[in-house]
Chains A and B, each alone.
Chain A
Amino acid sequence: MRILLVEDDRETASYLIKALREAGHVPDHAADGEEGGFLVDSNKYDVIVVDRMLPKKDGLTLVEETRRKGNDTPVLILSALGQVDDRVTGLRAGGDDYLAKPYAFSELLARIEVLARRRKPGEAETVLKVGDLELDRLSHLVRRGDVNIPLQPREFRLLEYLMKHAGQVVTRTMLLENVWDYHFDPQTNVIDVHISRLRSKIDKGFAEPLLHTVRGAGYMVRDGVR
């Protein structure tokens, strides 16, 4: 994936560029808002990662200008400000996701991959399938093979989100934000408990586990055969 990183801190940038390359992506780097704007206009990216405070041109202005030109490349805004209202301004400016500094690289990578995937067509599938697990978004029914699996509404949404991003790492924070719409950090590992409960419903008694824990990063629903 082609990724543009607009970040003024050289050290952070070089570390991120290296890590993104290792993860199999093709990153470009811009050190300020103007250079970022130039690169956005002259290249086609899958995801743009923009720091909010940049020299020469502020990150939010860059995003607004990009959107005004009709460019709808997914944008992830990075910021040292992490409060709900800052997030709201960031998203209102045209950002697709918002990540507060300091963040774990695994979190950034997971979000970049989910953002890039979001653009691909066929998103409106009514039935999500992973291996022999099926989730019907209209009838709200979940079945694995021949077995119907009854789920609580929230468990359904949790599984739906994981299956929508099947094959991708989904972090705990992403689950909190997208399934529960909470932007705070619960002190206890609440998400882990929800996941283990879901796992006991969809994986227990089946030979092939589908819901995997990605160490140090989060979770992934994946058909083990692939």
Chain B
Amino acid sequence: MFDFLEGYNVLEAFWTTVQLTVLSAVGSLIWGTLLAGMRVSPVPLMRGFGTAYVNIVRNIPLTVIIVFTSLGLADIFGVTLGSRDFDVQGFRLAVLGLIAYTAAFVCEAIRSGINTVPLGQAEAARAIGLSFSQTLRLIILPQAFRSVIGPLANVLIALTKNTTVAAAIGVAEAALLMKEMIENEAQVLLIAAVFAFGFVVLTLPTGLFFGWLSKRLAVKR
């Protein structure tokens, strides 16, 4: 029944999906946290930049961003990201695009977490002489993160599925292989089912793990 899978390396395609997801997740977590820091910063210029970034980037379709990284950044501006190899370059550009896009959502999740931390925590931190960045790093963000593990898991699951957009610039991940198989094989429904199942296998444990983590790390008040 599954002999249509022969000649296709489904696992390798999903491995690329996993790599896209993990690298983009780490990158967007870092960039998103920095953006959240900017959005609550006392410096108007940084606040303005953070707000503008989030509102512009999260309202552009991911496809447009990913296609721009290839046609715009690479072809027009000559950004190579350290590789002339088309596949490697495409992969890196896709990660860059995914980070830029996902960070906007990470930022907003973290910012809502920052809002759950009582004002008194920041006042107490400032009162013992901690600077703004120390207060943010040592007191506010650690508590904010713990309260938004659930929403961050949502962002991560969305990111996992969003990696399929990288197919638009030819990154050999799961969705690109699915498209190729649908073109060449007859069992369209089965092929779709196999890939759907693959994504559920990736995202379902993510959701469960983060749910558990969120309960475990909750800050008691």
A and B assemble together: no
